[in-house]
C-alpha cells in the first residue's frame, strides 16, 4: 500500500512539473507578444506568470477536457482515470515531438519519458483489478460506467487545437483516437473487462463549460493566492 501511495504521488509531481513547463512557456509567449490577454483572466493585470495563469483564472478560462476534473472515487476509478489520461498523453507527446515549435517539442520529449511509466503503471493496475477478485472486477465496471462518457471529448478538435495544428505547432487530436481505442481494447481484454459500446459522451470542457467539480478544485488550489494576492515564501 505504501509503495503504491508513493507511486501515485510521484505521478502527481510529474504532472505538476509538466504543467509548469507549459505554463512558463505560455506566460513567456504572452509577455513577448505584448498582448493584453492578461486583463481578461479574472482581473489579472501586468506581467503574466505561471502563477497568474494557474491561480487567477476562473473556471471558464480553463480549457481542459472534463475527464480530468472528475472525482478520484475509489482506487478503481482513480486507476482508470489515470490510464485513460496517460494513454492520451503518451500519444499526444509522441506527436508533439514533431512540432515546429522547438520548445513544445522539447517539453514533449522530456515528458514522454515520465508518461511512459505512468501508462505502464496504470495499465498494469487496470489488468490487476479487472482480472482480480469479484469485488475488484465490479469496482472496475463501475469505474467504466462513471468515466467512459467523458472520453469522447478527448478527440473532439477544438478551435484552438485546429489552429495550432494548421500552423504545424499542435496535434490533430482526432488522429489519436484509433490508436487510443486499440490500446484500451487490448488492456481491457487482458483485464477481462468489456469494451464499452455506448456512443453517448459529455462535451464542453474545451470550450470552458465544466462540471461543478472544477470549481471545487480551483477553490482549494487557488485559495492562498486569492486570499493573499502576490504572497511569496
Q: How many residues does the chain have?
A: 233
Give me the pLDDT at residue 41, please.
45
Contact 59, 79 (CB under 8 A): no
Give me the pLDDT at residue 45, please.
63
Question: Residue for cell digits 478544485?
Answer: 217
Give me the pLDDT at residue 42, please.
44
Cα distance between residue 20 and residue 33, in whole Å = 20
Give me the pLDDT at residue 135, please.
97
Query: Using the 8-state DSSP alphabet, how is residue 174 labeled?
Result: G
Give me the pLDDT at residue 14, please.
97
Give me the pLDDT at residue 38, please.
45
Give me the pLDDT at residue 5, please.
81
Query: In the chain, which stretches have pLDDT less than 50?
Result: 38-39, 41-43
CB atoms within 10 A of CB 199: 7
pTM to 2 decimal places: 0.92
Could you tell me the domains of the chain? 1-62+212-233 (no CATH), 66-209 (1.20.1260.10)
Give the pLDDT confidence of 151-185 residue by residue, as tens digits.
999 999 999 999 999 999 999 999 999 999 999 99
Amino acid at each position: 500500500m505504501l509503495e503504491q501511495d508513493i507511486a501515485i504521488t510521484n505521478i502527481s509531481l510529474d504532472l505538476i512539473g509538466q504543467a509548469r513547463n507549459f505554463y512558463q512557456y505560455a506566460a513567456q509567449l504572452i509577455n513577448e507578444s505584448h498582448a493584453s490577454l492578461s486583463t481578461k483572466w479574472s482581473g489579472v493585470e501586468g506581467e503574466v506568470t505561471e502563477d497568474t495563469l494557474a491561480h487567477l483564472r476562473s473556471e471558464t478560462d480553463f480549457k481542459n477536457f472534463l475527464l480530468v476534473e472528475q472525482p478520484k472515487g475509489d482506487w478503481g476509478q482513480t486507476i482508470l482515470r489515470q490510464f485513460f489520461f496517460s494513454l492520451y498523453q503518451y500519444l499526444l507527446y509522441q506527436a508533439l515531438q514533431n512540432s515546429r515549435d522547438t520548445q513544445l517539442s522539447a517539453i514533449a520529449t522530456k515528458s514522454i519519458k515520465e508518461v511512459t511509466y505512468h501508462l505502464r503503471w496504470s495499465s498494469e493496475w487496470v489488468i490487476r483489478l479487472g482480472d482480480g477478485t469479484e469485488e475488484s472486477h465490479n469496482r472496475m465496471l463501475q469505474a467504466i460506467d462513471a468515466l467512459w462518457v467523458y472520453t469522447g471529448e478527448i478527440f473532439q478538435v477544438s478551435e484552438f487545437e485546429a489552429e495550432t495544428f494548421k500552423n504545424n505547432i499542435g496535434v490533430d487530436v482526432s488522429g489519436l483516437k484509433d490508436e487510443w481505442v486499440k490500446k484500451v481494447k487490448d488492456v481491457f481484454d487482458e483485464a477481462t473487462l468489456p469494451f464499452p459500446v455506448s456512443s453517448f459522451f459529455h462535451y464542453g470542457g474545451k470550450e470552458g463549460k465544466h462540471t461543478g467539480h472544477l470549481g471545487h478544485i480551483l477553490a482549494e488550489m487557488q485559495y492562498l493566492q486569492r486570499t493573499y494576492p502576490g504572497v511569496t515564501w
